[in-house]
Amino acid sequence: MPSKALIAAANLAHRMRHADAVGLAPREPEIDFAQVMDHVHGAQRRIAPQDSVERLRREGVEVIEADSRFLGPGRIQAGDRVLSWRTAIIATGYEPSGPPIPGLDEAGPLTTENLWGLSELPPRLVVLGGGPVGCELGQAFARLGSRVTLVEMAPRLLAREEPAASRLIEARLRGDGVDLRTGVTAEAVTDGGVQLSAGDRVPFDRILVAVGRRARTGGLGLDSVGVRTDQRGSVTVDERLRTSGPRIFAVGDVTGALPFTHVAAYHARIATVNALFGARGRTSYAAVPWVTFTDPEVARVGLTEADARRRWGEATTTSFEYAELDRAVTAGEAYGFATLVGDPRRRLVGATVCAPAGGESIAELAAWISQGRRIDDVSRTVHAYPTFAEGPARAADAHLQARLLGGRTRALARPALAALRSIDALR
C-alpha cells in the first residue's frame, strides 16, 4: 500500500512535465521528497485502523501480541501463555530475502520493509529485480528525480506477462530515464558500486532489493504438529487450504501462492469457514487478477497466449490498441493495449490490459472467466462511452467482426440477402 501512495506522487510529477499532452504548459515540478514521504506516511496512518489491533478487539477478537509456536497437537505457546486449540490457521506472511551477492548486506540495502523510512531522495539508485515491485518502484523513483539503474537477470522485464507488455513497460521506463540492464546479474557490491556479469560497474548511493522473498515459518514449531513446507520454505496446502497437520490451515503469502493482499483475503474467506465448520470450500486461481502499478498499469487474469498454446496446442487471441480508444485520446494517454485469450472453443481463459486504468478494467474480465463465458460475451456487453473499460470490449469486437464478417460468412450472406430482396419485391 505505501508504494501506491509513492507512485501517485510520481505519476503526478510525470503528468506535470507532460501537461502539453492535454494542451497545458508543461512545467518541472518542485519535488520535496520529505513531503512526498509525509504523504506516504499519512496514507499509511489513514488506512492502518482498518487492520489495527483495536479494531479486532472491538470485533470481539482476543489479540495476543507475542511470539508464538506450536508445542504439539492442540497446544500453542504465545509469549508466557499456553493456549489450546481445536483448529488453527497459519497466516505469518513472508519477508524479503535478498540474493546471496557478496557485499550486499554491508551496503545497507533497501527493501519493501525499510524503504519507507527514507527522508532523502537517493541521487543514484540501483534496483535489483525487474519484476512488478522493481518496475513500479524504479519508475516512481525515476519520476521523482533519482537516476535509476534497474538490473534484471532475465532477458526481459515482467517475465510472467505477455511479451508485448514487457516491451511497452521497457519503453516507458527508458522514456523516464531508467537505465535498463536485462540479461545480466549482479555479482558483487563494493565501494558504492555494483559489479555486473556483463563486465561493467554501476555506482549507486542506495541499492534497492526488489527480488527474493521467503515465507515466515522459522521458529513456529511446525514439525511438532506435522506441518510440511516445500523447498522454498512455504507451507504446503491443498485446494481447501489444509496443511499436512491435522486441523491446521494456512493462508496468504506463507503458502507460496500468488503474493497479493486480495489473494490473502480470498484465502481467509475460504479457510475460516472450512476451519470452523468443516466446510469444503476450494480455491481456484483461474480467475484471480493481479496488477503491476506501473504507467501504464499491467493487469492480467488467467492465461497468457503462450500458456494457452501449451495447454491446448492452439489459442484464440484478439487485441486492441489504446491509440484508437477515444477516452485514451481525450486524456492524452493514447498508449497501451488489451489482449483477450480464448481456448479452442473461444471461451475466455485469459486477458491482459496493459493500459491506463488497466487495473480497473480487469475485474470485468475476471468475472467473465469465472463464469466460463466466451470472448463474444465481452463484445455483447454494453459499455459506457467514453471509458477506458471499452478497451477490452473493442478487442472482443475485433474478434467478433473477424469471425462473422469473414469471406465464408459474406459468401453465404450475399445470396440470402438477394433472396430476401426478391421476396420483398414480389409483395
C-alpha cell at 34: 520529505
Say if residues 250 and 241 touch (Cβ distance below 8 Å).
yes
d(CA 169, CA 138): 11
Cα-Cα end-to-end distance for the chain: 69
pLDDT at 12: 97
Among residues 346, 344, 345, 357, the alpha carbon closest in space to that of 392 is found at 357
Q: Which CATH superfamily is domain 64-96+214-277 in?
A: FAD/NAD(P)-binding domain (3.50.50.60)
Q: Which CATH superfamily is domain 2-44+98-211 in?
A: FAD/NAD(P)-binding domain (3.50.50.60)
| Distance from the Cα of residue 355 to its chain's centroid | 14
Domain ranges of the chain: 2-44+98-211, 64-96+214-277, 289-404
d(CA 191, CA 214): 28
Q: Do domains 2-44+98-211 and 64-96+214-277 have the same CATH topology?
A: yes
The helix or strand, by DSSP H or E, that contains position 13, with its residue range, turns out to be: helix 2-17
Q: Indicate the pTM of the whole model.
A: 0.92
pLDDT at 407: 64
pLDDT at 191: 87
pLDDT at 406: 66
Say if residues 333 and 341 touch (Cβ distance below 8 Å).
no
Q: What is the pLDDT along the chain (427 residues), one digit of tens a residue?
A: 899 999 999 999 999 999 999 999 999 999 999 999 999 999 999 998 888 999 999 999 999 999 999 999 999 999 999 999 999 999 999 988 888 999 999 999 999 989 999 999 999 999 999 999 999 999 999 999 999 999 999 999 999 999 999 999 999 999 999 999 999 999 999 988 999 998 899 999 999 999 988 999 999 999 999 999 998 899 999 999 999 999 999 999 999 999 899 999 999 999 999 999 999 999 999 999 999 999 999 999 999 999 999 999 999 999 999 999 999 999 999 999 999 999 999 999 999 999 999 999 999 999 999 999 999 999 999 999 999 999 999 999 999 888 877 666 666 677 877 877 888 777 6
Say if residues 393 and 378 touch (Cβ distance below 8 Å).
yes
Beta strands per DSSP E along 94-212: 94-96, 124-128, 147-152, 179-182, 186-190, 193-196, 201-203, 206-209
Contacts 24+ apart (CB under 8 A), 98-104: 98/128, 98/209, 98/211, 98/212, 99/128, 99/186, 99/209, 99/211, 99/212, 101/128, 101/186, 101/187, 101/188, 101/189, 102/187, 102/188, 102/189, 103/188, 103/189, 103/190, 104/186, 104/189, 104/207, 104/209
pLDDT at 212: 81
pLDDT at 339: 98
Task: Say whether the peptide bond before residue 29 is cis (omega within 30 degrees of 0).
Answer: no
The helix or strand, by DSSP H or E, that contains position 309, with its residue range, turns out to be: helix 305-312
pLDDT at 95: 86
pLDDT at 409: 67
CATH of region 289-404, choose from 2.70.150.10, 2.60.120.10, 3.30.830.10, 3.30.390.30: 3.30.390.30
C-alpha cell at 420: 430476401
